[in-house]
Amino acid sequence: MLNVLAITPYTATILIHADKARYHLDAPVSWRLEGADQGGVSHTVPVFIEGLAPDTSYTFATAEEAVRFTTKPCAGLIDATDFGVAAGAANNADAFARAIDAVPTGGTLLVPAGRFASGPLFLKSDMTFWLADGAILEAVADRGGWPILPEHDDTGRVIGTWEGLPAASFASPVTAIGCANLAITGRGTLDGGGDRGDWWHWPKETRDGARRPRTLFLAHCTDTVLSGITVRNSPSWTVHPFRCDRLTAAALHIRNPADSPNTDGFDPESCTQVQLRGLHISVGDDCIAVKAGKRGTGDDTRVDHIAPTRHLTIANCLMEDGHGAVVMGSEMSGDITDVDITRCAFKGTDRGLRIKTRRGRGGQVSRITMDDVVMDGVGTALAINAFYFCDADGKSAAVQSRDPAPVDDTTPQVSDITISNLRLRGVRHAAGAFLGLPEAPVRGLRLSGITIDYDATAEAGETLMACHLPPARHAGLLHRFAMIQAEAALTEILEDLNDVG
């Protein structure tokens, strides 16, 4: 089965066998593009094509089937180098601003092959930003003079954020605020410059009045397409859509060094109707981290930034080497609901599916499904943790006590999690660890069709980031304060989390 996805004037993403393969195909598939002199052999579900003509019909064909599509129209192609963008320039930000301003409504800005240094760019509505094959847009090393996004803009919208709260933040190398009908596409590379300057030396601090930037930041955008590009070397979170609606990300490559701090791959926060398909992510923190804002602690009572994330699809993705493959929270105060994870592969992540929250967050994580996923070399494959020790008070008795606390609007709820048809290979610590709150147990956790084998060389390690838990090695399904429905074979490996060790 062929699926056409993420069409722009000059590029297209096609998914091959997305209904039965994960990220890699079971066997290579030869393809050709009728109407253009293009073809090749794909080893992966996503096939990204560029160099097409606008408003033109093509047929993508394999030996088994074919699908026809028409590219989007383009009102005008602007070459960034015609406005002074130059490979040898120390900072092309002003030249890029002129080029972006020149793009007509419905037009395209082309960044051709070459290495272009720049400060932050601000995109606009009704445009395509095309990083062509061989183009590298890299952030300058010196943050002096970088624009700073305030907590709120002139209309009162939150635009500066940090880990779920409004906060002044350095603008991202590519920033889009309040844009509609925006596409960012191409085989080129967006390099956030995390290894240049001092970004990774102050991961949790504020300097010059601002927090670290993301590499690609989208705020209050609608009808957005991200396709094909490589995003790498991020100062903090890599791709961060905030309060966006109707976003499709397809065939992206997101890469950060394993030791880079807090460099999550893709963080949809308070977004609705999001599709993440055919992504390959290897980063220094969580690969896909779903957020919905967080309540402050102490005297911080702000709530204007909190909104739900709902109707999110994650399919045919490959996640490698991060702390978690698909993660929800711990910033989840606005609710994370209706998330479908299917036909993905996780390799070498500390945890596979990870849900994390704590007292004081409020909100719910609910109606989550995971099906047909293979995990290789994970620490704890399935993790639900309502005692996550984040924030300054995270290890306090109020957060970590196993005695029931009063239930109010700051009590987080986790419910209706359906997990089926998983192959867990090379598990080190536990197939699953589920720790709810005594006053708000995990409810409606359903498990079926899970096969498990273990890494014989593994040593005991941490299953969840919570206090008062012993290390584990080769454990089955550990639980406490969780209501689990499991088939007979899995019921046999259920064990109280406190009995491990």
Six-digit token string for 179: 């844009």
Same domain, 123 and 15: no
Q: Please choose, from the candidates 496, 484, 499, 483, the residue with its C-alpha nearest in 3D space to the C-alpha of residue 447.
A: 484
Same domain, 26 and 127: no
Six-digit token string for 184: 């960012």
Catalytic member of 280, 323, 429, 479 = 323
**Pairing state between β 189-191 and 174-177:** unpaired
| Residue with token string 């590519």 | 174
- Asked if residue 366 has a cis previous peptide bond (ω within 30° of 0), the answer is no
Q: Provide the pLDDT for residue 197.
A: 87
- Distances from the Cα of 1 to the Cα of 15, 19, 40, 64, angstroms: 8, 7, 18, 9
Same domain, 58 and 79: no
Angle at Cα 327 formed by Cα 25 and Cα 258, nearest 5°?
A: 75
Tell me whether residue 374 is in a domain: no
Same domain, 263 and 198: yes
Judge whether 359 and 398 are in contact, CB under 8 Å.
Answer: yes
CA 234 – CA 252 distance, rounded (Å) = 15
- Asked if residue 172 has a cis previous peptide bond (ω within 30° of 0), the answer is no
CA 262 – CA 291 distance, rounded (Å) = 14
Tell me whether residue 95 is in a domain: yes
Six-digit token string for 441: 């147990």
Q: Residues 323-360, buried b or exposed e (16+ Cβ, 10 A)? A: bbbbbbbbbbbbbbbbbbbbbbbbbbbbbbbbbbbbbb
Tell me whether residue 320 is in a domain: no
Where would I find the beta strands (DSSP E) of 377-501?
380-385, 413-427, 430-435, 442-454, 475-480, 482-486, 494-496
Max CA distance (Å), the chain = 68
C-alpha torsion 349→350→352→355, nearest 10:
-140
DSSP state of 452: E
The number of domains in the chain is: 2
Residue-wise DSSP of 102-152? HPPTTEEEEE-SEEEEES-EE--SSEEEEE-TTEEEEE-S--TT--EE-SB
Q: Provide the pLDDT for residue 390.
A: 87
Active site residue 26: no
Q: Provide the pLDDT for residue 52.
A: 98
Q: Which residues contact 86 (CB under 8 A, 6 or more apart)?
A: 92, 95, 116
CA 274 – CA 246 distance, rounded (Å) = 6
Same domain, 55 and 151: no
Same domain, 22 and 126: no
Tell me whether residue 346 is in a domain: no
Active site residue 285: yes
Instruction: Give me the domain span that covers residue 177.
Output: 75-285
Same domain, 57 and 101: no
Residue-wise DSSP of 204-262? T--BTTBBPP-SEEEES-EEEEEES-EEES-SS-SEEEES-EEEEEES-EEE--TTSTT
Same domain, 160 and 216: yes
Residue 314 amino acid letter: I
Tell me whether residue 311 is in a domain: no
- CATH number of the domain within which 30 lies: 2.60.40
CA-CA-CA-CA torsion sign (290, 295, 297, 300): positive
Same domain, 206 and 184: yes
| pLDDT tens digit at each of 501 positions of the chain | 899 999 999 999 999 999 999 999 999 999 999 999 899 999 999 999 999 999 999 999 999 999 999 999 999 999 999 999 999 999 999 999 999 999 999 999 999 999 999 999 999 999 999 999 999 999 999 999 999 999 999 999 999 999 999 999 999 999 999 999 999 999 999 999 999 989 999 999 999 999 999 999 999 999 999 999 999 999 999 999 999 999 999 999 999 999 999 999 999 999 999 999 999 999 999 999 999 999 987 778 788 899 999 999 999 999 999 899 999 999 999 999 999 999 999 999 999 999 999 999 999 999 999 999 999 999 999 999 999 998 888 999 999 999 999 999 999 999 999 999 999 999 999 999 999 999 999 999 999 999 999 999 999 999 999 999 999 999 999 999 999 999 999 999 999 887 764
Tell me whether residue 387 is in a domain: no
260 strand-pairing partners: none
CA 74 – CA 107 distance, rounded (Å) = 5
Catalytic member of 285, 335, 350, 416 = 285
Tell me whether residue 429 is in a domain: no
Half-sphere exposure of 420 (CA within 13 A, CB side): 10
H or E segment to which residue 88 belongs: none
Neighbours of 303 (CB within 10 A): 12
Tell me whether residue 268 is in a domain: yes
Judge whether 210 and 185 are in contact, CB under 8 Å.
Answer: no
H or E segment to which residue 8 belongs: none
